């Protein structure tokens, strides 16, 4: 009988300790170390013995110059937006972790993809949270082809691997990793040790058999993936399906990708027939009214490998109660406070006694600095109660000394705005095109004061 072993594991990074301590010395976080009970290393050898036949090819030593540089074969998922986020399609032997809030559509998206793929490649869908009847009813409601997809209701990782070795699927979906368990680990499913061992076991199988593995994961209250941080290090690609319950649109963002660009964004619309691709996201995020309103402006953000036009709105009002509020939805609230200080110092606009609310329309989350100039333009427009032209697009980074810095892929952003009918662009001088564009008037600026003067003249 295997000997029980007690260890203390950090829930953020997965570091092990022999006794409890307040701070994890590996990731420097506090109060993240919890006690777990496992089995002394004898059982691990039996799991490793299952894959002895593959060890020789993986352990061969070769020089870096002799490595085969040919592109890895990819399989299209049938959804261009999903392929875009994955870097061009599914890579054989890759492990993909898809996270999202309950009801975001993780299971629906994967079920749609594998149902269509099952007609050309073998696929196995393992459900641990729902019964087979529930999955079948969802597929029937979405009018999906169900004749070729193989289903399994199981939570034991060892049993899943045994069946996968017999069925030999090219695509394996496990929904979800939080309910899976390994019999050698004496802890409840969803614990740090169970999630870590289950993911390691399944990932190793995928790597050594060339199986495309999809793991569905839960998220915490702050939107990050639940479970130990080491889980994200094990897999090749981590994607997050975002979207609020009151919005029909879902965004699929690439958090980590060893086979493509990071922060790539795919947009889907939640319909009665399931998730439908939105191939032109700028069109849905630019659904503006016919009359220009103060505090509204369009900016161009760069998401992964493509530009996207998004509307940003600001509302500036007299603070009630003496304590001004700073609220940012879709943007970093700390950066909003910093930009308001720059606006006061270098633009002469005093907002210390004003409430400032900023919102990115459509539920998009913008993390890059190209939104700085558009944000300040929206604030100034609302503060002065003066609407900006509907055909104006703005982007650029604002420095602490009031300078307007260029952003990557500036000319591509201008061309994208011109395709959607915009005729004026307020951009950093470093991003201004050398040739004059026929249907676009580009206004280059180098300082915040120059940008504010240009806005007054429009």
Domain segments of the chain: what residues?
Answer: 1-41, 74-279, 284-457
Beta bridge mates, 393? 298, 425
- Whole-angstrom distance, CA of residue 99 vs CA of residue 308: 23
For residue 425, give every residue at least 6 positions away whose Cβ sits within 8 Å of its Cβ, in sequence order, or none.
392, 393, 394, 414, 417, 440, 441, 442, 443
**How much is the pLDDT for 204?**
94
**How much is the pLDDT for 260?**
86
**How much is the pLDDT for 42?**
40
- Whole-angstrom distance, CA of residue 264 vs CA of residue 365: 13
**How much is the pLDDT for 262?**
84
- Which CATH architecture fits 284-457? 2-Layer Sandwich (3.30)
Q: For residue 17, what is the enclosing H or E element?
A: strand 16-17
Q: Per-residue confidence of the chain (458 residues) as pLDDT tens digits?
A: 445 567 777 776 667 788 888 888 877 888 878 776 654 444 444 444 444 444 444 557 889 888 877 767 789 999 999 999 999 899 999 999 999 888 889 999 999 999 999 999 999 999 999 999 999 999 999 999 999 999 999 999 999 999 999 999 999 999 989 999 998 887 788 888 888 899 999 999 999 999 999 999 988 776 677 777 778 888 999 999 987 666 788 889 898 999 888 888 898 998 888 999 988 888 777 777 677 889 999 999 998 888 999 999 999 999 887 789 999 999 999 999 999 999 999 999 988 899 999 999 877 889 899 999 999 999 999 999 999 999 999 999 999 999 999 999 999 999 999 999 999 999 999 999 988 888 899 999 999 999 999 999 98
**How much is the pLDDT for 37?**
61
DSSP 3: P
State the fold for domain 74-279.
Answer: Rossmann fold (3.40.50)
């Amino acid at each position: 009988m295997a000997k029980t072993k007690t260890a203390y594991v950090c829930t953020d990074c997965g570091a092990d300790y022999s006794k409890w301590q307040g701070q994890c010395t590996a990731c420097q976080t506090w109060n993240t170390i919890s006690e777990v009970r496992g089995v002394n290393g004898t059982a691990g050898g039996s799991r490793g013995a299952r894959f002895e036949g593959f060890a020789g090819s993986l352990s061969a030593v070769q020089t870096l110059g002799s490595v085969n540089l040919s592109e890895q074969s990819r399989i299209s998922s049938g959804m261009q937006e999903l392929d875009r986020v994955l870097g061009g399609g599914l890579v054989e032997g890759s492990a993909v972790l898809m996270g999202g809030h309950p009801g975001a559509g993780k299971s629906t998206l994967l079920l749609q993809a594998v149902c269509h793929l099952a007609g050309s490649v073998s696929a196995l869908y393992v459900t641990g949270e729902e019964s087979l009847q529930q999955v079948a009813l969802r597929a029937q409601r979405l009018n999906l082809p169900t004749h070729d997809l193989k289903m399994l209701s199981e939570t034991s990782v060892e049993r899943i691997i045994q069946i996968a070795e017999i069925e030999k699927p090219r695509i394996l979906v496990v929904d979800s990793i939080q309910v899976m368990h390994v019999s050698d680990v004496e802890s409840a499913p969803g614990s740090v040790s169970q999630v870590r061992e289950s993911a390691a076991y399944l990932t190793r199988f995928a790597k050594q058999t060339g199986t495309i593995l999809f793991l569905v994961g839960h998220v915490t209250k702050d939107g990050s993936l639940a479970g130990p941080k080491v889980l994200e290090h094990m897999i090749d690609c981590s994607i997050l399906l975002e979207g609020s319950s009151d919005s029909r649109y879902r965004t699929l963002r690439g958090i980590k990708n060893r086979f493509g660009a990071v922060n790539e964004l795919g947009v889907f619309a939640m319909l009665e027939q399931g998730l439908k691709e939105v191939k032109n996201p700028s069109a849905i995020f630019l659904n503006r009214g016919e009359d220009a309103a103060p505090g509204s402006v369009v900016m161009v953000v760069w998401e992964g490998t493509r530009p996207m036009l998004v509307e940003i709105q600001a509302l500036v009002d007299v603070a009630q109660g003496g304590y001004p509020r700073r609220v940012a939805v879709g943007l970093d609230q700390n950066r909003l406070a910093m930009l308001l200080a720059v606006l006061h110092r270098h633009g002469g606009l005093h907002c210390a006694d004003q409430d400032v609310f900023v919102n990115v329309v459509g539920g998009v989350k913008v993390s890059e600095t190209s939104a700085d100039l558009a944000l300040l333009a929206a604030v100034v427009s609302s503060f002065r109660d003066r609407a900006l032209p509907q055909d104006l697009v703005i982007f650029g980074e604002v420095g602490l000394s009031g300078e307007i810095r260029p952003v990557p892929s500036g000319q591509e952003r201008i061309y994208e705005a011109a395709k959607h009918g915009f005729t004026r662009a307020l951009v950093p001088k470093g991003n201004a095109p050398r040739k004059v564009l026929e249907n676009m008037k580009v206004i280059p600026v180098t300082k915040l004061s120059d940008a504010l003067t240009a806005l007054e003249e429009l």
